[in-house]
């Protein structure tokens, strides 16, 4: 008679597998501890500090949307900010014109739906049109820059949708806070509550994506990344796999855009600019594109550096950090941290090392 798995094993099981970094008890203890510290952050430092920090978690979610498609399916996209910005503008247009809980709720749904639809249309024409590799990267960057140029010339009263003025480079102002409800009954999430909603969304997204990349679909994603022709030979529809992965990544970027615009109550075309488009790539490159937690940590630290070092020095420091990490650790910092922990654990005779990643299994 086989022994029943423990409660801990049953809880960890859906979120572990060869495609994710961090499958040990020590990782999960660190994950729970980190989440608990983030949860008590508003209690320790106050509502204003929590509200200010909320935007870093939003950037972390945007970085996760790229890590998912780039790290596990090999799709390098500079267009995550396009979905991010489009969702933000869509939320603003709906919620300003329907100034009620119903409008805010419809704004959330519309923002995510518009970003998902844009990602699906772009992904359909790219992947079913035979566009691959670096050309996908170029097209996604061009889409973001076209949106930047278009939205920049929307100043003037003629560029308004109902009560919502697009505002050109001055941006759209007066966007309501995040809220959910119907009519005059609902819940509004401002200040520290926005922080908690963002944290909840971020943790749920990380856990959900860990489960997805360790599913049969996730194995197909990694196989497509490693050798698309061989994966097709085994009967997998790699075009659909890339299309679906890219669309999911666009939806997540759109969700982060909604959280961003409800945090600052404002959005402008700079969210589509080339600097903004490069930031998710930098976060994933430094943190580790196959590590959701590493990408989130990199997004938080790098954005904090950017705000602390205003002006050109911020770009110099971030650029130098990117070059150093790429040269010394091409896979990012998180995998090297995992290797160091495994080394120290083996020397101390502790918990056995984690199973090999999917890449190592393929190379074997």
pLDDT in tens, 103-136: 999 999 999 999 999 999 999 999 999 998 899 9
pLDDT digits (tens, 9 = 90+) for 196-209: 999 999 999 999 99
pLDDT digits (tens, 9 = 90+) for 17-41: 888 888 888 889 999 999 999 999 9
* pLDDT computed for residue 332 by the predictor: 84
* pLDDT computed for residue 364 by the predictor: 31
* pLDDT computed for residue 361 by the predictor: 42
Task: Select from 111, 251, 108 the least CA-distant residue to 181.
Answer: 108
| Residue 260 confidence (pLDDT) above 60 | yes
* Average pLDDT of span 274-299: 92
Q: In this prediction, what percent of the chain has a pLDDT beyond 70? A: 94
Q: What is the Cα–Cα distance from 267 to 335, expressed in whole angstroms? A: 35
pLDDT digits (tens, 9 = 90+) for 208-239: 999 999 999 999 999 999 999 999 999 999 99
Q: Which residue has the higher pLDDT, 9 or 222?
A: 222
| Residue 183 confidence (pLDDT) above 70 | yes
Q: Which residue has the higher pLDDT, 321 or 50?
A: 50
| Residue 339 confidence (pLDDT) above 50 | yes
Contacts of 327 (CB under 8 A, 6+ apart): none
Q: What is the Cα–Cα distance from 72 to 130, expressed in whole angstroms? A: 20
pLDDT digits (tens, 9 = 90+) for 81-93: 999 999 999 999 9
Task: Select from 249, 244, 243, 261 the least CA-distant residue to 111.
Answer: 261
* Average pLDDT of span 178-189: 89
Provide the b/e sequence for 266-300 (b: ≥16 CB within 10 Å).
bbbbebbbeebbbbbbbbbbbbbbbbbbbbbbbbb
pLDDT digits (tens, 9 = 90+) for 143-162: 999 999 999 999 988 999 99
Q: What is the Cα–Cα distance from 62 to 361, expressed in whole angstroms? A: 29
Task: Select from 38, 16, 18, 39 the least CA-distant residue to 27.
Answer: 16
Q: In 22-80, at which residue ranges do the beta strands (DSSP E only) sit? A: none
| Residue 341 confidence (pLDDT) above 80 | no
* Average pLDDT of span 261-276: 93
| Residue 305 confidence (pLDDT) above 80 | yes
Q: What is the Cα–Cα distance from 264 to 126, expressed in whole angstroms? A: 33
Q: In this prediction, what percent of the chain has a pLDDT beyond 90? A: 69
**Structural tokens at position 45:** 């430092």
Pick from 45-54, 248-257, 311-320: least confident: 311-320
Q: Mean pLDDT for the chain? A: 89
Task: Select from 303, 266, 252 the least CA-distant residue to 59.
Answer: 303
| Residue 312 confidence (pLDDT) above 50 | yes
């Amino acid at each position: 008679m086989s022994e029943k798995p423990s409660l801990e094993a049953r809880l960890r099981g859906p979120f572990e597998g060869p495609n994710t970094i961090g499958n040990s008890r020590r990782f999960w203890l660190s994950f729970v501890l980190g989440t608990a510290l983030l949860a008590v952050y508003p209690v320790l430092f106050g509502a204003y500090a929590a509200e200010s920090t909320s935007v870093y978690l939003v950037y972390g979610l945007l970085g996760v949307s790229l890590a998912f498609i780039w790290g596990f399916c090999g799709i390098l996209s500079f267009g995550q900010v396009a979905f991010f910005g489009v969702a933000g503008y869509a939320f603003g247009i709906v919620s300003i014109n329907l100034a009620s809980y119903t409008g805010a709720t419809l704004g959330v749904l519309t923002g995510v739906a518009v970003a998902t639809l844009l990602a699906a249309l772009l992904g359909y024409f790219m992947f079913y049109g035979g566009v691959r590799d670096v050309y996908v990267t170029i097209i996604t960057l061009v889409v973001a820059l076209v949106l930047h140029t278009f939205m920049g010339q929307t100043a003037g009263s003629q560029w308004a949708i109902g009560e919502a003025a697009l505002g050109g480079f001055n941006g759209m102002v007066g966007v309501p806070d995040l809220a959910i409800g119907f009519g005059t009954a609902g819940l509004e999430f401002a200040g520290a509550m926005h922080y908690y909603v963002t944290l909840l969304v971020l943790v749920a997204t990380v856990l959900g994506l860990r489960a997805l990349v360790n599913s049969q679909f996730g194995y197909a994603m990694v196989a497509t990344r490693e050798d698309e022709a061989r994966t097709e030979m085994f009967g997998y529809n790699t075009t659909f796999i890339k299309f679906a992965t890219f669309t999911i990544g666009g939806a997540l970027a759109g969700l982060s855009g909604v959280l961003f615009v409800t945090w600052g109550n404002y959005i402008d075309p700079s969210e589509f600019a080339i600097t903004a488009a490069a930031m998710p790539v930098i976060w994933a490159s430094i943190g580790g594109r196959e590590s959701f937690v590493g990408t989130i940590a990199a997004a938080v630290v790098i954005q904090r550096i950017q705000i602390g070092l205003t002006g050109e020095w911020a770009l110099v420091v971030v650029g130098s950090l990117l070059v150093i990490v790429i040269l010394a650790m091409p896979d990012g910092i998180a995998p090297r941290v995992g290797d160091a922990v495994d080394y120290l654990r083996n020397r101390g005779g502790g918990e056995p090392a984690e199973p090999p990643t999917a890449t190592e299994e393929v190379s074997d």
